Chain A
Amino acid sequence: MATTNKKYAKAVYLVDGRRTPFLKARGRPGPFRHVELGIYAARALLLRMPFEATEFDEVIFGATMPGPDEANIARIVALRLGCGDQVPAYTVHRNCASGMQALDNAAMSIASGRSDLVLAGGIEAMSHAPLLFHPKMVNWLADWWAAKSIGARLGVAASFNPRMLAPVIALLKGLTDPVVGLNMGQTAEQIAWRFGITRGQMDQFALESHQKLHQAQQNGDLAAEIVPLYDSKGEVYELDDGVRPDSTLEKLGKLRPAFDKPYGLVTPGNSAQITDGAAALVLASEGAVKKHGLPVLARLVSTEWAALTPAEMGLGPAHAIAPLLKSQRLKIDDIDYWEINEAFAAQVLAVIAALKDRDYCKQQLGLRSAIGEIPADRLNIHGGGVSLGHPVGTSGARIVLHLARVLQQKNAKSGIASLCIGGGQGGAMLIERSVS
C-alpha cells in the first residue's frame, strides 16, 4: 500500500549482512558456483543470529545467470542452508539491480505484514556463464537424434559443417541489449559523448576506485562484511582480488577501447570487472527485532525504480535518485554517503554530470532546476565496481550492505545506494540509521 511519501509502510530493519570476497573472472569457470557463494555468505551470517534458519518467513535472492541445475537459486540456497522444507523462496531478475530488487521485495513483504524475518541478497558467478551450441548445431543435433535409419543418419551426417561448432559466449549475449542492439559498454560511450566525459576523467576515476579499495583493504574497512572462501584444494580467498594497487594513469592510458573500436574511450581498465560474488542480508520487522533481540544496522526507508531509453541505461541512477529525493523531501546535501554502482567510470561520471545539469534535470527528470553535485568524497568511499567488480545479480545488495556499514563507521544518518540497469532502468534505495 503506497503512502504519499512512498516510505515502506512499516519499519524495515537491516539486521546484518555478509558477502563473499569478489573474485575476478579469469577466462575459465572459477572455483565457486552460484550456490556455493550464496551459502558461504548466508551461512556465516546465520551463525551469528540468535534464531534458527527455519524461522525465516521467506528467502529472496537476485541472480541473472544461474546454471541450468540451479533453477530458482534462492530455493536451493534456502534448502541447503537448513531453512527446512517449509520456508518459501524465490529468485528475482532486474538485470544489474537484481540484488536491490530482492531487498525491495523483502522490504515490501515486511512492510505489508506478510513477513517478519527475511533472508535476501544477490548471487552471481559470471565466470560460470555457459558456452552454448550455435543454433545451427542445436538443430543438427535434433535432426541426428531424430534420425532412425542408417540412411537418415548418413543424410544428417552429410549436412554437418565444422563452423557450426563455434560456441556462443552466453556472457557476451547477456551484456548486449537486444532491443537497441548496443552492448553495455557502448551505452557508456553514448552518455560519455552526451556529457563530454573525457578519457582522462574516466581513467582518473578508475584509478581512484582502485586506490580507495586498496586503502580500505589495508585499513580493514571491509573485513567485517567479508566471509573467507575455501576451495577444494585448500586455497583461501579473503580479499576482493580484482584490485590493482599498482595501477597508474599511465598504465590505464595504454589500454585500448573495448566496445567502440578503435575510437572509443571506454576500456577494460575503466569498466567494472566480470566477477563472481554473493551477498546475503537479514531484514526484519520491528516485531522480529524485539522478539529475537536483534541488533540493527540501518532501516530501509524507500526505493525508487525508473526507466529510460536502453541506449542510455547508464543514466538510470539519475532517473531514480531524482524522484527518491523528491518524495522524501530531501536535498543532495541531506544525504551523508552515496554508493553508485560503478558499471563504468564514464557512467558514474555521466550521472554526476546529469544531476548537475539544469537542462537535463528539467527536460529529462521533470524538475525545476538541477539537483546538485554529489560530493566526490562521499561517493563510493571504499571503492566500487571498477576495482571490486560487478557480479550482476549481487551488486545491488552489496552496495546497500556496505552503505549501511559506512554509515555506522562514520556515525552518519542517511545514505542512498543506486545502480544503472541494463535495458534502460535505474534503481535507488534510501537507508537511514539513528545517530548516537
Chain B
Amino acid sequence: MSVTIVDWQQHCDEDGILWLILDKKNTDTNVLSVSVLEQLDGLLDEINGSLPKAVIFRSGKAKGFIAGADVKEFLDVTNTQEALIMIKRGQKLFSRIAALPCPTVALIEGFCMGGGTELALACDYRVALDDDATRIGLPEVKLGIHPAYGGVVRATAIINPLKSLELMLSGRGLSARAARSIGLVDSAQPARQIERAARQIALSPPARQQMPLLGKIISLPGIRNLVAGYMKKQVAKKAPRQHYPAPYAILDVWANYCGDNKRMMEEEANSVARLIQGNRVRNLIRVFFLQTRLKGLGDKKSFVPRHVHVIGAGTMGGDIAAWCALRGFSVSLQDREAKYLGNAFRNAHRLFGKRLKTTAQRNAALDRLIPDINGDGIARADVVIEAIFEDIDAKHAIYREVEARMKPGAVLATNTSSIPLETLATVLKEPDRLVGIHFFNPVAMMPLVEIVKTESSSGEAVEHAIAFTQHIGKLPLPVASSPGFLVNRILMPYLVEAFTLYDEGVAPEAIDKAATDFGMPMGPVELADTVGLDICLSVAQNLSQAFGIDVPGGLGKFVDAKKLGKKTGSGFYHYKKGKPVKDKDANLGDQKMIQNRLVFRFLNEAVSCLQEGIVADRDLLDAGIIFGTGFAPFRGGPINHSLEEGIESIVQSMTDYAGRFGERFRPVDGWSLLSE
C-alpha cells in the first residue's frame, strides 16, 4: 500500500541515522491520528526494506513530543468491533517498531502523553529533555480507558511494576528526571546535550534497561496478585470500581496475564474495547473537551498582567496571593497589621515546597510574594483582588481608597460570594470596572473560578478578568451576578436536602453513601463538615433569602453548640486525625429514595440556573458544576446526565416526589426547554 506521507518528515544524517520527525499538518500539537499511524506504517515498510544504522523519533513542533492519540477519533468508534480493529492496528504498528533490527531512540522534548509514551516505549531507548516543560505520562485512565497500544505490556515489562502501574493509575506526568529515576527514560539531558546523547546512544547502543530485582519479584505469579489486590484497595479509596473501572482493568490485565506477552497484548486490547462501551468514556471525553473550552475562553494576549495586589490575608486571600506567586506573578499581599500575614506566609511556604522542585524555584516564588501593610503595591498592580471578610462597609472603605490609587485600566475584583456586586460597586467613581473573581476553597486544588459580571459590567473589565484567570492557570466560568452565582447556588439545595434528611432521622452515613454511589466524590454531609457548618449556615441563610429555601433547624443547633465540622473535630461526624468516624453498621434506609431526593434537588436547581441564564449555555453549566463540585464526571455534568436519563422520566419522577415529599421537588419551568 502506498500512503502519502504528509505528517512525517525524514532525513538520513551523515552517520546513517534515520531521523523520523512528526510534524502533523495544520495543528500546533502532534497527535497520533489514524492517518498519522498509517503513514508511519508505510515508513516502516521502507525502513525494513533498506535498514538505516538507527532510527531516532523526534517531534517537529515548537512545543511537545506527542500528546497522545486523537481523542476525537475515539468518539467516532460506535461499537466494540470497531474499537478492537483500531486498537489492534495500533498495537501491531508499535510492535513493528519494537521489532526493528536496528536501534530505535525516542527523543522526547516537552509533553509526551498516552500514545506518545507508548510509541517511546516501543523504541529501544528513550532520551528526554531536562526542562520544566517536559512531562511524560500515560493519562488514559482519566478518560476512563487505559493504554491500549502495548503500553501496559511494555511499561510493566521494563519498569518496576509498582512504579509503572502507579503511573498508569494516577495518570500523572513525570518530569524528565523523575522519568529517568524510575527507568521510564534512559537519560535526561539539557538542550545543549540532547542531540549528541541521542546520536551516541543510537550509534553505540548501551545495555538495555533491565527490570530491577524487586520488580522481577513483584511480577511473579501469586505475588503480583497480592500486589494487585493491595493496589485495588488503594484505588478504591478515591475511585470506586462501579464508577471508575479503568484502574481496576489495568491491574487485572497485569495480574492475570503478565509474563505471557502475546496474551497480555490481546487482553489489553479487549479490556479497552470493553471499557469503551456505554456512556462513561464518551462523557469523560466530553469533560476533557469542556475543559479545553474553558481553557480557550477569552484572549490571553489581550491582557498580560505582571503585578497582582491582594487585600485580605485570610485563608482565601492568602491562598490566592500564594497561588499567583506560584504562577510567576509578583504579588503584594495586604492586611491591617503585619501579624495577620503570618499564616499566609506559612501556607505559602508549604505550597511552594510541595509544588516546586528546586530551592531556586521556591526562593523565586517567595521573592515574588511581598508583604504590604501600606498598600504600596496598589499603584503598580494590574489586578487588585479584594478578599476580606463579608462586610459591606469594610469593603466600601477599601474600594474608595483603592480606586484612587489604582492604575488606569487595572482590574478591580472582589472574591465575595454573598454580597451582590451591584451593592459593592455603588461607592466607585467607575462602578462598571468592578468584577467578581470568585475562587473556591482550597485555592490550590480547585480549578474553577467564577467570573461574576453585572448587566453594566464593562466588557473590557470582564475580558481582562478572564484573561487573568487563564494566566494563573485556572478555568474561568463567566456567570451572572445572582446570589450564589452558579456553584454555591446549585450546591445549597442539595446540602439543605441532606440536612433535611438528617433531621428526619436518616443516618449521615446513609445520606453520604447515596451520594457517593451516584458518583459524587464526597457525600453532602461530609462536604458540609469539611467546608465548615458556620460557613454553610451563613451561605444557606444568604441564599434562602433570595430563593426561599427553608434552612433546617438542625444545622443551626450544631453551629450554636460550636460543633462546626472537621475544623473543630466534630460536626455531623466526629473527626479523628482529620478523617470522619463513620458507623459501619449504620442503617442505610431507602438508598434509592435518598439518592433521588439529593439528585433531584441538584438537577432542579441546575435547570433553574440554565433558565435564568446564570451561565451562557448548557455545556458551560455542566463544565462549571463538574470543575466546581466534582460532580460525577463520568456523567458529563447535571444537564448531560438529565438528557441521558431522559427528561420525561426525570420530570415524571420529580413530580411524583413533589407529591410525596414537598413542593421543592416540583420540576421548574426550565425543564421544558430541555425536552425540545
Residues of A within 8 A of B (CB): 35, 39, 43-44, 47-48, 50, 80-82, 227-228, 230-236, 238
Give chain A nearest CB distance to B451 CB in angstroms. Answer: 28
Give chain A nearest CB distance to B49 CB in angstroms. Answer: 52
Task: Give the nearest-CB partner of A47 in chain B.
Answer: B376
Residues of B within 8 A of A233 (CB): 346, 349
Selected contact of B345 from candidates A39, A44, A230, CB within 8 Å: A230
Q: Is B283 an interface residue (CB 8 A)?
A: no
Take A80-B363, A80-B367 as given contacts and tell me if A47 and B341 are in contact as well, using a CB distance cutoff of 8 Å.
Answer: no
Give the distance in Å from the alpha carbon of A238 to the alpha carbon of B346 in the complex: 16
Enumerate 29 A-B pairs (CB-CB under 8 Å) in ascending A order: A43-B367, A43-B370, A44-B370, A44-B372, A47-B332, A47-B376, A47-B377, A47-B380, A50-B379, A82-B330, A82-B367, A227-B371, A228-B338, A228-B341, A228-B373, A230-B341, A231-B345, A232-B346, A232-B349, A233-B346, A234-B343, A234-B344, A234-B345, A234-B346, A234-B347, A236-B338, A236-B339, A236-B342, A238-B338
Q: Is B203 an interface residue (CB 8 A)?
A: no
Task: Check A44–B376 contact: CB distance below 8 A.
Answer: yes
Take A47-B370, A48-B376, A80-B363 as given contacts and tell me if A236 and B346 are in contact as well, using a CB distance cutoff of 8 Å.
Answer: no
Give chain B nearest CB distance to A331 CB in angstroms. Answer: 40
Give the distance in Å from the alpha carbon of A48 to the alpha carbon of B346 in the complex: 25
Give the distance in Å from the alpha carbon of A231 to the alpha carbon of B366 in the complex: 11
10 nearest CB pairs, A to B: A234-B346, A230-B345, A228-B338, A234-B342, A232-B349, A47-B376, A236-B342, A48-B376, A80-B367, A236-B338
Most chain A C-beta atoms within 10 Å of own C-beta, residue among B330, B349, B367: B367
Task: Encode B358-373 as 1/0 by CB contact (under 8 A) with A.
Answer: 0000011001001111
Residues of A within 8 A of B330 (CB): 82
| Apart from the given pairs A230-B371, A234-B346, 12 other A-B contacts in the complex at a CB distance below 8 Å | A35-B363, A43-B370, A44-B370, A44-B376, A47-B372, A47-B376, A82-B330, A232-B345, A234-B342, A234-B343, A235-B342, A238-B339
Task: Give the nearest-CB partner of B332 in chain A.
Answer: A47
Residues of B within 8 A of A (CB): 330, 332, 338-339, 341-347, 349, 363-364, 367, 370-373, 376-377, 379-380
Residues of B within 8 A of A231 (CB): 345
Give chain B nearest CB distance to A22 CB in angstroms. Answer: 16
Give the distance in Å from the alpha carbon of A48 to the alpha carbon of B347 in the complex: 26
Give the distance in Å from the alpha carbon of A47 to the alpha carbon of B376 in the complex: 6
Give the distance in Å from the alpha carbon of A147 to the alpha carbon of B36 in the complex: 58
Residues of B within 8 A of A236 (CB): 338-339, 341-342
Give chain A nearest CB distance to B452 CB in angstroms. Answer: 29
Give chain A nearest CB distance to B140 CB in angstroms. Answer: 39
Task: Give the nearest-CB partner of A76 in chain B.
Answer: B363
Give chain B nearest CB distance to A194 CB in angstroms. Answer: 45
Task: Give the nearest-CB partner of A230 in chain B.
Answer: B345
Give chain B nearest CB distance to A337 CB in angstroms. Answer: 26
Give the distance in Å from the alpha carbon of A227 to the alpha carbon of B374 in the complex: 11
Residues of A within 8 A of B349 (CB): 232-233
Residues of A within 8 A of B338 (CB): 228, 236, 238
Give chain A nearest CB distance to B340 CB in angstroms. Answer: 9
Give the distance in Å from the alpha carbon of A236 to the alpha carbon of B330 in the complex: 21
Give the distance in Å from the alpha carbon of A82 to the alpha carbon of B370 in the complex: 13
Most chain A C-beta atoms within 10 Å of own C-beta, residue among B332, B339, B343: B339
Give the distance in Å from the alpha carbon of A232 to the alpha carbon of B346 in the complex: 5
Give the distance in Å from the alpha carbon of A375 to the alpha carbon of B669 in the complex: 87
Give the distance in Å from the alpha carbon of A228 to the alpha carbon of B339 in the complex: 9
Residues of B within 8 A of A230 (CB): 341-342, 345, 371
Task: Give the nearest-CB partner of A39 in chain B.
Answer: B367
Task: Give the nearest-CB partner of B330 in chain A.
Answer: A82
Residues of B within 8 A of A50 (CB): 379
Give chain B nearest CB distance to A241 CB in angstroms. Answer: 14
Residues of A within 8 A of B370 (CB): 43-44, 47
Give the distance in Å from the alpha carbon of A13 to the alpha carbon of B370 in the complex: 26
Residues of A within 8 A of B347 (CB): 234
Give the distance in Å from the alpha carbon of A268 to the alpha carbon of B377 in the complex: 42
Give the distance in Å from the alpha carbon of A232 to the alpha carbon of B352 in the complex: 11
Give the distance in Å from the alpha carbon of A82 to the alpha carbon of B345 in the complex: 20
Give chain A nearest CB distance to B343 CB in angstroms. Answer: 5
Give the distance in Å from the alpha carbon of A80 to the alpha carbon of B330 in the complex: 12
Give the distance in Å from the alpha carbon of A238 to the alpha carbon of B339 in the complex: 9
Residues of A within 8 A of B379 (CB): 50
Residues of B within 8 A of A232 (CB): 345-346, 349
Give the distance in Å from the alpha carbon of A48 to the alpha carbon of B380 in the complex: 9
Give the distance in Å from the alpha carbon of A43 to the alpha carbon of B373 in the complex: 13
Give the distance in Å from the alpha carbon of A227 to the alpha carbon of B341 in the complex: 13
Residues of B within 8 A of A44 (CB): 370-372, 376
Give the distance in Å from the alpha carbon of A35 to the alpha carbon of B380 in the complex: 24
Give the distance in Å from the alpha carbon of A235 to the alpha carbon of B364 in the complex: 20
Give chain A nearest CB distance to B187 CB in angstroms. Answer: 28
Give the distance in Å from the alpha carbon of A172 to the alpha carbon of B345 in the complex: 34
Give chain A nearest CB distance to B126 CB in angstroms. Answer: 34
Give the distance in Å from the alpha carbon of A232 to the alpha carbon of B353 in the complex: 10
Give chain B nearest CB distance to A226 CB in angstroms. Answer: 10
Give chain B nearest CB distance to A23 CB in angstroms. Answer: 15
Give the distance in Å from the alpha carbon of A50 to the alpha carbon of B341 in the complex: 25
Give chain B nearest CB distance to A240 CB in angstroms. Answer: 14
Give the distance in Å from the alpha carbon of A249 to the alpha carbon of B373 in the complex: 38
Give chain A nearest CB distance to B335 CB in angstroms. Answer: 11
Residues of A within 8 A of B339 (CB): 236, 238
Give the distance in Å from the alpha carbon of A238 to the alpha carbon of B338 in the complex: 8
Task: Give the nearest-CB partner of B345 in chain A.
Answer: A230
Task: Check B371–A228 contact: CB distance below 8 A.
Answer: yes
Give chain A nearest CB distance to B363 CB in angstroms. Answer: 7
Give the distance in Å from the alpha carbon of A175 to the alpha carbon of B345 in the complex: 35
Residues of A within 8 A of B373 (CB): 228
Give the distance in Å from the alpha carbon of A237 to the alpha carbon of B668 in the complex: 57
Give chain A nearest CB distance to B611 CB in angstroms. Answer: 46
Residues of B within 8 A of A227 (CB): 371
Task: Give the nearest-CB partner of A233 in chain B.
Answer: B346
Give the distance in Å from the alpha carbon of A80 to the alpha carbon of B366 in the complex: 10
Residues of B within 8 A of A234 (CB): 342-347
Residues of A within 8 A of B380 (CB): 47
Task: Give the nearest-CB partner of A52 in chain B.
Answer: B380
Task: Check A80–B376 contact: CB distance below 8 A.
Answer: no
Give chain A nearest CB distance to B122 CB in angstroms. Answer: 43
Give the distance in Å from the alpha carbon of A235 to the alpha carbon of B370 in the complex: 15
Give the distance in Å from the alpha carbon of A81 to the alpha carbon of B367 in the complex: 7
Give the distance in Å from the alpha carbon of A230 to the alpha carbon of B348 in the complex: 11
Task: Give the nearest-CB partner of B362 in chain A.
Answer: A232
Give the distance in Å from the alpha carbon of A222 to the alpha carbon of B36 in the complex: 70
Residues of A within 8 A of B344 (CB): 234
Most chain B C-beta atoms within 10 Å of own C-beta, residue among A44, A228, A230: A230
Give the distance in Å from the alpha carbon of A271 to the alpha carbon of B379 in the complex: 44
Give the distance in Å from the alpha carbon of A71 to the alpha carbon of B363 in the complex: 17
Residues of A within 8 A of B364 (CB): 80
Give the distance in Å from the alpha carbon of A238 to the alpha carbon of B373 in the complex: 12
Give chain B nearest CB distance to A340 CB in angstroms. Answer: 31
Give the distance in Å from the alpha carbon of A232 to the alpha carbon of B347 in the complex: 8
Residues of B within 8 A of A43 (CB): 367, 370
Give chain A nearest CB distance to B13 CB in angstroms. Answer: 35
Give the distance in Å from the alpha carbon of A35 to the alpha carbon of B330 in the complex: 18
Task: Give the nearest-CB partner of A235 in chain B.
Answer: B342
Most chain B C-beta atoms within 10 Å of own C-beta, residue among A44, A81, A82, A234: A234
Give chain A nearest CB distance to B232 CB in angstroms. Answer: 38
Task: Give the nearest-CB partner of A234 in chain B.
Answer: B346
Task: Give the nearest-CB partner of A232 in chain B.
Answer: B349
Give the distance in Å from the alpha carbon of A80 to the alpha carbon of B359 in the complex: 13
Residues of A within 8 A of B376 (CB): 44, 47-48
Give the distance in Å from the alpha carbon of A47 to the alpha carbon of B472 in the complex: 22
Give chain B nearest CB distance to A80 CB in angstroms. Answer: 5
Give the distance in Å from the alpha carbon of A80 to the alpha carbon of B380 in the complex: 19
Give the distance in Å from the alpha carbon of A193 to the alpha carbon of B195 in the complex: 73
Task: Give the nearest-CB partner of B367 in chain A.
Answer: A80
Give chain B nearest CB distance to A40 CB in angstroms. Answer: 8
Give the distance in Å from the alpha carbon of A47 to the alpha carbon of B364 in the complex: 17
